[in-house]
Amino acid sequence: MLSGLGVFRPVVHAEGAAILEVSDLSVAYNGTRALDGVTFDLRIGERVAVVGPNGAGKSTLFKVIAGVLDPTSGDVRVAGCSPRGHICIAYVPQRSDVDWSFPVTVEDVVMMGRYGKLGFLRRPGREDRAYVRICLETVGLEDLATRQIGELSGGQQQRMFIARALAQESSIVLMDEPLNGLDVSAQERILEILDALKARGVTVMVATHDLNQAAEFFDRVMLLNRRLLGIGTPEAVFTAEHLESAYGGQLRLVETGEGMMVLNDTCCGGH
């Protein structure tokens, strides 16, 4: 393995290579499989939606890619190396997993993204503060920099974490349900920022429940339910057969509301 690369050293990425290669990845917790034989590649700058029911293994997949969790079997390569050799993979947590009463300000959180580059014993300097400023401006939070994080709205909280991913100078950003519970304008704002990330060649994976959104705003969609059921264009992946095997009895839930319309269009248009 390449763990000898040095834990704190960022890895220089080979030009033109797949940014992420996942091969035959399986993860088991206490004997039950959270992920089973998942294989796919992502190219630099791609934007992929990861869709699947609760417990499909979306968070597990992200944690393995981030190098936080070790796979039971199979392999993950980020720019050709083990994820543990990189500090360029940013994980944006679900909002419900964050302690919003923690005594940190917006700029404190974004500055944490710089800590990986600072190294042991060094304090952030003027350049780091300038960098954090630019990241805050990119997501439009410069006016809220000194607010305590609990004072932000849901959309602003999500943008703060994107700014932290930028401060981390990440090449891959993994976002766990970033659009959940946000109103439409807040969602649109985040999708705009994701466009800006794409322009910078940042690869983004977004876990979402919303099939409609996944189909509309992403280059490719991935349908996951422990096994990888499909990755590609929405037309190819969101087929009745795939959705049935992903959601099974839950399919009725998907068919309520507006989701139903898109589902029909997608599956019938494809045939």
Partner 1 sequence: MGTLVELLIAPLRYPFMVRGMAAAVMVGIVCAMVGTYMVLRGMAFLGDALAHSILPGIAIGYLVSGGSREPIFWWGLGTGVLTAIGIGAVGKGAQVKEDTAIGIIFSGMFALGIALISTMRSYAVDLAHFLFGDVLGVSSGDLWLTAGLAALVFLVVFVFYKEFLVLSFDPVLAETLRFPSGFLRYLLLVLIALTIVVALQTVGVALMVAMLTTPAATAYLLTKRMAPMMVIAAVLGAVAGVAGLYLSYYISVASGAAIVLVSTAIFLLVLLFSPRRGVVWGWLR
Which stretches of the chain bind partner 1, using CB under 8 A?
Answer: 7-8, 63, 66-68, 84, 86-87, 89-91, 93, 98-99, 102-105, 108-109, 112, 115-116, 118, 121, 123, 148, 164, 168
Give me the helices (H) in 139-220, please. Answer: 154-167, 184-199, 211-217
Q: Minimum distance between the CB of residue 71 and partner 1, rounded to whole angstroms?
A: 15
Q: Are 66 and 116 in contact (CB under 8 A)?
A: no
Q: Minimum distance between the CB of residue 50 and partner 1, rounded to whole angstroms?
A: 17
Q: Are 91 and 62 in contact (CB under 8 A)?
A: yes
How far lies 182's CA from each of 24, 108, 177, 229, 265, in Å? 34, 24, 10, 28, 25
Residue closer to partner 1, measured from CB, 142 or 235: 142
CA separation for the pair 54, 236 (Å, rounded): 22
Residue closer to partner 1, measured from CB, 68 or 261: 68
Structure tokens at 232: 């590609």
Give me the helices (H) in 67-179, please. Answer: 106-112, 115-118, 126-138, 154-167
Q: Minimum distance between the CB of residue 202 and partner 1, rounded to whole angstroms?
A: 15
Residue closer to partner 1, measured from CB, 123 or 252: 123
Q: Minimum distance between the CB of residue 171 and partner 1, rounded to whole angstroms?
A: 12
Residue closer to partner 1, measured from CB, 105 or 180: 105
